[in-house]
């Protein structure tokens, strides 16, 4: 008994959303006996898939029993009992082999040769990729999707040997990487835009721009040890807007900062427009001090001197090589006090000149001096007054400028030989008085302070802890 398979119709079942449903193949045919008479009743059908037209092991098999026959015709769905998968059709060809038992009890008869499946099963590959909104391409763990709006969404990166992207490339996570000598991770001829997030440049190269980096509202940040937000070997040009430097570092310039027409401005409490530890040089033009354009410092090219266009008030020290006396410092009593001190830089000044003004005292006293806070018995003096009295004082804890106590206002001039090797000799004169009806007193004297260092501070005090009145002061000058 021989069975003939007269016709075969094979196609993939593709309902809507097929990528979520089991994969099945519709198989239809007609069974005839050896005389060509259609079979009736039922039959047992056994199906197997192979990767070759003969030999080999079955990749898949499934049995349908019983299968109704009507005038020899039957229809089954392969995959109803044993699941099919896309891997069965991943090769170059797939071959179907069928076993038939027409009566269900006569024994299986293998129909030969195996049937080469047409393109219909490969529609499963398309069905797993196509949906109503996107096309998804899968390779192992990598997934890419063509969305309905035209974008290519990459879940695990994009690799392109050569090619051009005319639209947009969006990466929600991951990195764009290029390998090989002279390669760039991202190379754009018309600009690179980061609408949100951060453009991170790692490695020693940083961000290199042939024609500049432009940021309308964003900020360039540099992090890590000894990292600079912006490092430029040939300069930074800010054509409009402000170059803003925050933090404690300020602007560090190894070779100078040049401003053709702009202004350096420092804002905030204690801010300075230009703060330099090693000097500020104005090669040409004037240095304006304050808001008034008339207050300038400029170079007189004819003799090299400094021209000050308005008055100069000096609160600290001024050093000048070609003048005898240089102002070193001053101190003024702002509230009544028993003593007050002026600190100076007296190094290398061979002579010091002191001007002491006593605007008043709370009680009769002798004005005294101490140097460098020395309260030891290291002072000696000889003082004479207008009455002819002369007083010698040795091993004193302060230098006495008067022979006797006095309660008047007064003035003293003191010259000190500032010698750290042999000690300091002093000479002074002065006077104290309060009214035309009272005779004033004048004093002169000489003294010595046993010191082995340069004079750096001078304290004015008195022998009775009387308070000096407001505006009592001392000014110090030096000569090299």
Predicted pLDDT of residue 343: 94
Residue 165 pLDDT exceeds 60: no
Binned at pLDDT 50, 70 and 90, residue 17 comes out as very low
Predicted pLDDT of residue 369: 94
- Choice among 52-66, 148-162, 247-261, 390-404 with the minimum mean pLDDT: 148-162
Residue 66 pLDDT exceeds 80: yes
Classify strands 95-101 and 60-69 as parallel, antiparallel or unpaired.
Answer: unpaired
| Domains of the chain as residue ranges with CATH | 4-126 (2.60.40), 278-310 (no CATH), 326-479 (2.60.120)
- What is the rounded average pLDDT of the residues 416-438? 82
Binned at pLDDT 50, 70 and 90, residue 15 comes out as very low
Binned at pLDDT 50, 70 and 90, residue 354 comes out as very high
- Choice among 134-148, 255-269, 375-389, 463-477 with the minimum mean pLDDT: 134-148
Q: Are 429 and 452 in contact (CB under 8 A)?
A: no
Residue 203 pLDDT exceeds 70: no
Taking all residues of the chain, what is their mean pLDDT, rounded to a whole number?
Answer: 75
Binned at pLDDT 50, 70 and 90, residue 116 comes out as confident
Predicted pLDDT of residue 96: 92
- Sheet with 379-385: list strands edge to edge: 326-332, 473-479, 351-358, 409-417, 424-433, 441-449, 379-385, 390-396
- What is the rounded average pLDDT of the residues 228-234? 64
Residue 130 pLDDT exceeds 70: no
DSSP, collapsed to helix, strand or coil, labels residue 20 as: helix
Q: Dihedral sign, CA of 385, 390, 396, 399? A: positive
- Choice among 154-168, 175-189, 212-226, 320-334 with the minimum mean pLDDT: 154-168
Q: Is 350 left (phi over 0), alpha (psi -120 to 50) or beta?
A: alpha
Stronger pLDDT, 288 or 20, i.e. the higher one: 288
- Cα separation, 165 vs 158, in Å, equals 11
- Cα separation, 23 vs 89, in Å, equals 12
- What is the rounded average pLDDT of the residues 82-108? 82
Predicted pLDDT of residue 132: 41
Predicted pLDDT of residue 336: 94
- Closest by CA to 355, choosing from 330, 380, 321, is 330
Predicted pLDDT of residue 9: 47
Stronger pLDDT, 121 or 367, i.e. the higher one: 367
Alpha helices, H only, 133-192? none
Predicted pLDDT of residue 139: 46
Torsion angle defined by CA atoms of residues 167, 169, 170 and 173, in that order, rounded to the nearest 10 degrees: 180
Using only C-alpha atoms, the chain has a radius of gyration, in whole angstroms, of 53
Partners of residue 431 on adjacent β-strands = 411, 442
Residue 289 pLDDT exceeds 90: no
Question: Could you tell me the CA-to-CA distances from 340 to 357, 365, 378 in Å, in that order?
Answer: 12, 15, 20
Partners of residue 444 on adjacent β-strands = 384, 429
Predicted pLDDT of residue 228: 62
Predicted pLDDT of residue 264: 61
Backbone angles phi, psi at 168, to 5 degrees: -115, 150
Q: What is the pLDDT of residues 1-11, one digit of tens each?
A: 566 665 454 54
Stronger pLDDT, 236 or 466, i.e. the higher one: 466
Torsion angle defined by CA atoms of residues 445, 451, 452 and 456, in that order, rounded to the nearest 10 degrees: -90
Stronger pLDDT, 359 or 180, i.e. the higher one: 359
Residue 122 pLDDT exceeds 70: no
Q: What is the pLDDT of residues 296-313, one digit of tens each?
A: 776 655 555 566 655 566
Alpha helices, H only, 60-166? 123-129
Predicted pLDDT of residue 221: 62
Q: Is 293 left (phi over 0), alpha (psi -120 to 50) or beta?
A: alpha
Structure token pair of residue 454: 């340069």
- What is the rounded average pLDDT of the residues 322-335? 84
- Choice among 93-97, 221-225, 374-378 with the minimum mean pLDDT: 221-225
- What is the rounded average pLDDT of the residues 360-376? 92
- What is the rounded average pLDDT of the residues 405-434? 87
- Cα separation, 449 vs 396, in Å, equals 10
Q: Residue 305: in which H helix or E strand, if any?
A: strand 305-308
Question: Residues 183, 187, 188, CA angle at the centre, nearest 5°?
Answer: 165
Binned at pLDDT 50, 70 and 90, residue 414 comes out as very high
Stronger pLDDT, 153 or 390, i.e. the higher one: 390
- Closest by CA to 449, choosing from 479, 417, 478, 474, is 417
Binned at pLDDT 50, 70 and 90, residue 387 comes out as confident
Residue 320 pLDDT exceeds 80: no
DSSP, collapsed to helix, strand or coil, labels residue 19 as: helix
Q: Are 314 and 477 in contact (CB under 8 A)?
A: no
Stronger pLDDT, 261 or 37, i.e. the higher one: 37
Stronger pLDDT, 200 or 89, i.e. the higher one: 89
Residue 285 pLDDT exceeds 50: yes
Q: Is 397 left (phi over 0), alpha (psi -120 to 50) or beta?
A: alpha
Backbone angles phi, psi at 205, to 5 degrees: -80, -30
- Choice among 235-249, 306-320, 334-348, 379-393 with the minimum mean pLDDT: 306-320
pTM of structure:
0.38
- Cα separation, 130 vs 12, in Å, equals 15
Residue 270 pLDDT exceeds 60: no
Predicted pLDDT of residue 263: 63
Predicted pLDDT of residue 341: 95
Predicted pLDDT of residue 296: 72
């Amino acid at each position: 008994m021989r069975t003939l398979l007269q016709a075969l119709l094979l196609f993939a079942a593709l309902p809507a959303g097929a990528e979520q449903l089991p994969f099945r193949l519709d198989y239809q045919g007609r069974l005839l006996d050896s005389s060509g008479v259609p079979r009736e009743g039922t039959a047992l059908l056994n199906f197997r898939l192979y990767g070759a037209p003969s030999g080999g092991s079955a990749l898949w098999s499934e049995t349908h029993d019983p299968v109704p026959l009507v005038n020899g015709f039957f229809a089954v769905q392969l995959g109803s009992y044993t699941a099919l998968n896309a891997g069965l059709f991943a090769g170059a060809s797939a071959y179907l082999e069928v076993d038939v038992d027409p009566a269900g009890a006569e024994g299986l008869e293998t129909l030969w040769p195996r049937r080469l499946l047409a393109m219909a099963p490969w529609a499963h590959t398309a069905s797993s990729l196509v949906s109503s909104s996107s096309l998804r391409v899968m390779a192992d763990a990598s997934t890419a999707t063509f969305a309905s709006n035209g974008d290519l969404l990459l879940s695990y990166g994009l690799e392109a040997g050569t090619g051009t992207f005319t639209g947009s490339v969006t990466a929600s996570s991951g990195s764009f990487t290029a390998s090989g000598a002279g390669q760039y991770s991202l190379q754009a001829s018309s600009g690179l835009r980061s609408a949100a997030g951060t453009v991170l440049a790692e490695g020693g190269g940083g961000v290199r721009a042939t024609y500049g980096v432009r940021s309308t509202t964003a900020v360039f940040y540099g992090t890590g040890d000894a990292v600079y937000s912006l490092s430029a070997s040939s300069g930074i040009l800010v054509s409009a807007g402000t170059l803003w430097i925050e933090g404690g570092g300020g602007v560090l310039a190894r070779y100078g900062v040049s401003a053709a027409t702009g202004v350096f401005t420092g804002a905030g409490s204690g801010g300075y427009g230009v703060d330099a530890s090693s000097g500020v040089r104005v090669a040409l033009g004037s240095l304006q001090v304050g808001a008034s354009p008339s207050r300038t410092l400029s170079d007189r090219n004819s003799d090299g001197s400094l021209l000050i266009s308005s008055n100069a008030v000096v609160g600290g020290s001024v050093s000048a090589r070609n003048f005898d006396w240089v102002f070193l410092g001053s101190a003024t009593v702002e509230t009544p006090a028993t003593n007050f001190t002026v600190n100076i830089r007296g190094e290398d000044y061979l002579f010091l000149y002191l001007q002491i003004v006593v605007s008043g005292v709370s009680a009769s006293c002798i004005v005294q001096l101490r140097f460098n806070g020395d309260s030891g018995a290291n002072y000696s003096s000889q003082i004479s007054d207008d009455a002819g009295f002369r007083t010698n004082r040795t091993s004193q804890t302060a230098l006495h400028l008067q022979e006797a106590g006095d309660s008047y206002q007064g003035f003293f001039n003191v010259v000190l030989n500032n010698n750290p090797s042999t000690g300091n000799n002093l000479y002074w004169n002065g006077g104290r008085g309060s009214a035309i009806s009272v005779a004033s007193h004048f004093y002169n004297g000489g003294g010595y302070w046993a010191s082995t260092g340069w004079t750096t501070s001078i304290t004015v005090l008195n022998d009775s802890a009387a308070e000096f009145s407001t505006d009592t002061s001392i000014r110090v000058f030096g000569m090299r």
